[in-house]
Amino acid sequence: MPELVFFSGTMDCGKSTLALQIEHNRSARGLQGMIFTRDDRAGEGKLSSRLGLVTDAVEVADDQDLYAYVVVHLSQGGRADYVIADEAQFLAPGQIDQLARVVDDLDIDVFAFGITTDFRSKLFPGSQRLVELADRVEVLQVEALCWCGARATHNARTIGGAMVVEGAQVVVSDVNQPENIGYEVLCRRHHRRRMTAATAHASALSPDVLPIAPV
């Protein structure tokens, strides 16, 4: 039976790499897929991974009906043996419903990939709807690591290397940009303490302030 599967995890856990691998495996067997994406780091209409792999995709607009798009594609003689939706956290809840309809009404597998929570540890609306509707939710097993070496479970937004907890939910950027808006994965402990790699390094370099009694 066709399924709606949600592959979830933090940043740096290989979501887009897995999406590209699924595309490669199925296309190598003669299947044809349709790829949707939103706000990819490589630019409009691209699905890319941090490993440097990239392929073309359909850039999803705010009000786009994904079910209708697939139906029009099929009615014009196109094929869609499966659908991949990357950066699914940026999709509207209604668009997730449309992907579920692709599975139920068109008998097409849909593989969605996305981050579950934002930099404030709040669910993205698209991810929340996927958790509610998906036939399966797969947490990716490639563990991203916090700067301390512990398993990273939270996404953090940084400005100048310092963690921030206010601002718009969606600000497209990338990791390793401490001079501007950037993103970093942290363990829960250091997310709660708002301690990023940069601030931890600064703390480690601070001079000893313990009082020293005169001899």
Whole-number Å distance between alpha carbons of 103 and 80: 11
Q: How far, in Å, CA of 188 to CA of 13, rounded?
A: 16
**Active site annotation includes 87:** yes
Query: According to DSSP H, which parts of 79-186 are helical?
Result: 93-106, 125-133
Contact in structure between 26 and 33 (CB atoms under 8 Å): yes
Structure tokens of 24? Answer: 């490669």
Total residue count of the chain as it appears in this document: 215
In whole angstroms, give the CA distance from residue 128 to residue 184. 22
Which candidate in 3, 23, 87, 166 is catalytic? 87
Catalytic residues: 87
